[in-house]
Structure 1
Amino acid sequence: MTPQLVLTIGRDALSLLLTISMPVLGVVLAVGLLVSIFQAVTQIHEATLAFVPKLVAAVVVFAIAGPWMLETLVDFIRRTLESIPSVIG
């Protein structure tokens, strides 16, 4: 196993992690921004008002994009495990 191969596997894993996490992070960021603007306009500074909508948005995104995320992860793990014999020998 060469150092170049290890770096390639690591780079692929990090890019997969970024690809899978972007839908959840993007939606939670947008909801957090909207809630912050709402709190600034109404001057209501309740902690649960900031937390609950982001939690609900994350659950909705996981419900919608969860199968795609799981399928992508399983495909990556399958490809990685199947490449072990060619890497060792």
Structure 2
Amino acid sequence: MTPEVVMSMAYQGMRITLFLAAPLLITALLTGLTVSLFQAATQINEMTLSFIPKILGVFTVLVFAGPWLLKLITDFTRELFTNIPLMLS
């Protein structure tokens, strides 16, 4: 296995990881920002108030983007296992 193959596999793995994590992290970030703005506007200083909207937002994104995320990781894994004989030669 050449260094180029290893770097290509590492690049693909990091790219897939980014694609899998980004929708969930962006949703949690935007929900937290919205709740924080609401708390600042109403002067409600309850730290636990942001957890439930974040959980609901992430769950909603998982419901809608879950099939795409699952297809993405399945295709990557299938491609990785298919290319194992090519990597050994």
Match of 2:15 in 1: 15
Residue correspondence of structure 1 range 1-89 to structure 2 within 5 A: 1-89=1-89
TM-score (norm 1): 0.94
| Moved beyond 2 Å, runs of 4+ | none
C-alpha separation between the residues in 2 aligned to 1:40 and 1:50?
Answer: 12
C-alpha separation between the residues in 2 aligned to 1:45 and 1:67?
Answer: 37
Q: Tell me the percent identity.
A: 39
Question: How many residue pairs get matched?
Answer: 89
Instruction: Pick 1 or 2: higher relative contact order, CA cutoff 8 A, min separation 6.
Output: 2
Moved more, 55-64 or 17-26: 17-26
Extract unaligned runs of 5+ from structure 2: none
